[in-house]
A and B are shown apart, each in its own frame.
Chain A
Amino acid sequence: MSQIDAVFATLRNSERKALIPYFTAGDPSLNHTYAILEAITAAGADLIEVGVPFSDPLADGPVIQRASQRALASGTSLSKILALVGKYRRSSEPSSGQALHQRNSPPIVLFSYLNPIWQLGIEKFADQARESGVSGVLVTDLIPEEAEQIKKTFDRCDLDLIFLIAPTSTDERIRKICSLARGFIYAVSRTGTTGTRDSLSGDLKNFIARIRKHTPLPIAVGFGISNREQVATVWECADGAVVGSAIVREIERSVEAHSGKIPTEVDLAKRIKGFVESLIPPRL
């Protein structure tokens, strides 16, 4: 059982749902990223998605595009992100003696485009990710048809390869994706790029039900979820809600508020902790 499986199993047993914050690593710097990881953990995140910045984020809206640019400008790379995640994982329960990927801090899912991983090398990446205590990896531009080699390598390293399912996915494609997926299914709430939306798709319930016919895996919904009401709506039918652009926008506001000068790590962490807490509906 992977750490992601364990987290969802525990939640399920207590009839709870997952809050999964996303943010872009290295925005505005990797030191801030470390502080944000701790803040989000303290705020009660169940899993954390860490975005790997890419020069050409074609699935992302303007907010994450700008975050990626800030992150690349601060010298962020995939190797540095892996090292940082390792440091974060080691810091939790240092006396427990467990392997990094079993520690009790929320499991880390890397969210990346394929090219940075490809250039590091699939094998090398998988080994390093494993050593750093990364639990899962979601590759935005990787479809199951092209995933054979990566899937094999990740399986060998016990890294969960997580796939997206879109509202446009046919039943045939949903079946194919579910047969390869591990950890959880990331259901894209609607067509479009990442970014906040005023309202959620009315079809969400049907969409989730369509996926459930093909898999017992937990389902998290993301793209466009930005406030507590929307998290609550998602929790009614899915197992987890991913909040991304809204958090990234909050980081950006903090940078803007310091009129271009970067806020201290303590200030930013405090602000993000408060924001993530405000996203959590009263737990039943």
Chain B
Amino acid sequence: MNQRYNFPDSSGHFGKYGGSFVPETLMAPLEALQKAYAEACSDASFQGELARLLKTYVGRPTPLFFAEQVTHHFKGPRIYLKREDLAHTGSHKINNCLGQGLLAKRMGKTRVIAETGAGQHGVAAATVCALLGLECEIYMGTEDMRRQELNVYRMQLLGAKVTGVDSGSRTLKDAINEALRDWVTNVDTYYLLGSVLGPHPYPVMVRDFQSVIGREVRDQILAAEHRLPDVLLACIGGGSNSMGLFYEFIDENKIRMVGVEAGGRGEKLGEHAVRFMDRVGGGGRPGILQGTYSYVLQDDDGQVALTHSVSAGLDYAAIGPEHAMLHDTGRAEYTAVSDQEALEAFQWLSRSEGIIPALESAHAIAYLKYLAPKMGKDQIVVVNLSGRGDKDVAEAIRLTEKKE
């Protein structure tokens, strides 16, 4: 028998990655969070309430849809889409927000802060805060506010305060810096981090709250196909929708797990968000950013690089520490597609299946053209369709018109 996968260790390390790299001021609130989370994990009433709301409020389980047109197009493996776009608020982000929101409530918190890139996490956080009666402030880079304008209005409508962040590249990384500055000042506030990033216990906690995705996929694919899939495919920003899909299957060594990063518009540092680019000059190396040790896009002096992606949710210089370990051990594979390929997949899935994917999720869809032709007809692929694309329509039109 193989040893079962058992990460992170008690202090949040995934092999050599992860851990806690924060100013001392944040250690007391982080230790309190660890303790509260551990207690909630073994509290049946907390788990019962979470399960009830996932079902009646979020609308879980989300469907596993057999994508017949997509399958037919490649004439290869049978391709299924896990429909996280149909979860309340339109993406997987709500799974984590509901879990952490209930935890915040349990800890007696009254104020919640969060960062957001694409705005999907911000919307989900604002939604849960409205549901649970918590005050909510969202930090968002001003570049992201421009390209995800619809989500800014949604957050405001839900009663959240949206605070623009004007530093750095004015995207997700800068929003996280500002949220951390708020937290280090207001240590009684609950920081609702949106991906498998940051100091312990966030990477493990967010993964756990997202792992409902993979658990549902196991039941659904067994019901539909009487067997497990051959490949799991997901896009990777910080890495939460992918970990949510992968984690359930991590001990099934025959199942390939493939993560798709944002290839942006070129290979030069600054033009993409490919943390695992092996090519010289890619700039992704192990380093410390925003509380954790993982792969970080940076220059030779250890200054964090600017990134670019058409998709705000993938436009980030670091990646969750668990992915860093899975990359080094080879358990998961990582690849990338370009802005252009993602935009094409965005349009193609809309027309072929009547599903408008988020530009983030479109990265996973786009990779099918490299993956599917190498697979047999008797094989099965599950793609995590992490979110819906309504938020991206205006930006996609702008980018397509610019080209024409």
Question: A77 contacts the other chain (Cβ, under 8 Å)?
Answer: yes
Q: List 28 A-B contacts (CB under 8 A).
A: A56-B177, A56-B289, A58-B176, A58-B177, A59-B23, A61-B181, A77-B301, A114-B21, A115-B288, A115-B302, A119-B285, A119-B300, A119-B302, A141-B22, A141-B288, A143-B27, A145-B20, A166-B27, A167-B25, A169-B25, A170-B28, A188-B25, A191-B25, A191-B186, A191-B187, A192-B25, A192-B185, A193-B181
Q: Are B180 and A166 in contact (CB under 8 A)?
A: no
Contact with A along B153-187 (1 / 0, CB 8 A): 00000000000000110000100110011001111
How many residues belonging to A are interface residues under a CB distance threshold of 8 Å? 40
Closest A residue by C-beta to B185: A192
Cross-interface CB contact of B28 among A56, A114, A146, A168, cutoff 8 Å: A168
In the assembled complex, which residues on chain B have CB atoms less than 8 Å from the CB atom of A114?
21, 288
Q: Are B298 and A119 in contact (CB under 8 A)?
A: yes
Q: Are B24 and A169 in contact (CB under 8 A)?
A: yes
Interface pairs A-B: 8 shortest CB-CB: A119-B302, A166-B25, A168-B28, A116-B302, A192-B185, A77-B301, A55-B303, A164-B24
Give the contacts of B1-48 with A (CB-CB under 8 A). Answer: 11, 19-29, 31
Contact A56-B168, Cβ < 8 Å, known A146-B20, A193-B181: yes
Q: Are B27 and A173 in contact (CB under 8 A)?
A: yes
Question: B63 contacts the other chain (Cβ, under 8 Å)?
Answer: no
Question: B310 contacts the other chain (Cβ, under 8 Å)?
Answer: no
Q: How far is the CA of A191 from the CA of B22 in the complex (A)?
A: 13
Q: Are A192 and B184 in contact (CB under 8 A)?
A: yes
Contact A166-B21, Cβ < 8 Å, known A56-B304, A119-B301, A193-B185: no
Cross-interface CB contact of A116 among B11, B173, B176, B303, cutoff 8 Å: B303
Contact A116-B301, Cβ < 8 Å, known A56-B168, A65-B167: yes
Q: Are A115 and B20 in contact (CB under 8 A)?
A: no
Cross-interface CB contact of B21 among A120, A146, A188, cutoff 8 Å: A146
Residues of B near any A CB (own CB < 8 A): 11, 19-29, 31, 167-168, 173, 176-177, 180-181, 184-187, 285, 287-291, 296, 298, 300-304
Cross-interface CB contact of A56 among B19, B22, B25, B290, cutoff 8 Å: B290
Q: How far is the CA of A168 from the CA of B187 in the complex (A)?
A: 8
Q: Are A56 and B173 in contact (CB under 8 A)?
A: yes
In the assembled complex, which residues on chain A have CB atoms less than 8 Å from the CB atom of B186?
191
In the assembled complex, which residues on chain B have CB atoms less than 8 Å from the CB atom of A164?
23-25
Q: Are B180 and A143 in contact (CB under 8 A)?
A: no
Closest A residue by C-beta to B177: A58
In the assembled complex, which residues on chain A have CB atoms less than 8 Å from the CB atom of B285?
119
Give the contacts of A150-168 with B (CB-CB under 8 A). Answer: 163-168
Contact with B along A120-161 (1 / 0, CB 8 A): 100000000000000000001111011000000000000000
Cross-interface CB contact of A177 among B24, B298, B304, cutoff 8 Å: B24
Question: A207 contacts the other chain (Cβ, under 8 Å)?
Answer: no
Cross-interface CB contact of B24 among A54, A72, A119, A143, cutoff 8 Å: A143
In the assembled complex, which residues on chain B have CB atoms less than 8 Å from the CB atom of A142?
21
Q: How far is the CA of A210 from the CA of B27 in the complex (A)?
A: 17
State the majority secondary structure of interface residues on B: mixed
Q: Are B304 and A55 in contact (CB under 8 A)?
A: yes
Q: How far is the CA of A247 from the CA of B168 in the complex (A)?
A: 23
In the assembled complex, which residues on chain A have CB atoms less than 8 Å from the CB atom of B26?
168
Q: How far is the CA of A141 from the CA of B186 in the complex (A)?
A: 18
Question: A78 contacts the other chain (Cβ, under 8 Å)?
Answer: yes
Cross-interface CB contact of B290 among A58, A146, A188, cutoff 8 Å: A58
Q: How far is the CA of A169 from the CA of B177 in the complex (A)?
A: 22
Q: Are A191 and B185 in contact (CB under 8 A)?
A: yes
Q: Are B289 and A166 in contact (CB under 8 A)?
A: no
Contact A120-B29, Cβ < 8 Å, known A56-B177, A65-B167, A145-B20: no
Closest A residue by C-beta to B23: A59
Q: How far is the CA of A227 from the CA of B174 in the complex (A)?
A: 31
Q: How far is the CA of A77 from the CA of B288 in the complex (A)?
A: 17
In the assembled complex, which residues on chain B have CB atoms less than 8 Å from the CB atom of A165?
24
Q: How far is the CA of A49 from the CA of B236 in the complex (A)?
A: 40
Q: How far is the CA of A234 from the CA of B35 in the complex (A)?
A: 35
Q: Are A166 and B24 in contact (CB under 8 A)?
A: yes
Q: Are A58 and B180 in contact (CB under 8 A)?
A: yes
Q: How far is the CA of A155 from the CA of B14 in the complex (A)?
A: 27
Apart from A140-B23, A164-B24, A168-B26, what 9 extra A-B contacts exist at CB < 8 Å? Answer: A58-B176, A58-B290, A115-B302, A119-B300, A143-B24, A168-B25, A168-B29, A169-B28, A193-B181
Q: How far is the CA of A173 from the CA of B167 in the complex (A)?
A: 33
Q: How far is the CA of A25 from the CA of B176 in the complex (A)?
A: 25
Q: Count chain A CB atoms within 10 A of each CB in B26, B296, B302 and give the residue with the most.
A: B302
Q: How far is the CA of A141 from the CA of B304 in the complex (A)?
A: 15
Q: How far is the CA of A59 from the CA of B184 in the complex (A)?
A: 8
Contact A193-B302, Cβ < 8 Å, known A114-B21, A141-B21, A188-B25: no
Q: Are A115 and B19 in contact (CB under 8 A)?
A: no
> In the complex, how many angstroms separate the beta carbon of B380 from the nearest chain A beta carbon?
41
> In the complex, how many angstroms separate the beta carbon of B24 from the nearest chain A beta carbon?
4
In the assembled complex, which residues on chain A have CB atoms less than 8 Å from the CB atom of B181?
58-59, 61, 193
In the assembled complex, which residues on chain B have CB atoms less than 8 Å from the CB atom of A117?
302
In the assembled complex, which residues on chain B have CB atoms less than 8 Å from the CB atom of A115?
287-289, 296, 298, 302, 304
Closest A residue by C-beta to B180: A58
In the assembled complex, which residues on chain B have CB atoms less than 8 Å from the CB atom of A120?
302
Closest B residue by C-beta to A145: B11
Q: How far is the CA of A154 from the CA of B166 in the complex (A)?
A: 37
Q: How far is the CA of A65 from the CA of B168 in the complex (A)?
A: 10
Contact A78-B289, Cβ < 8 Å, known A143-B20, A191-B185: no
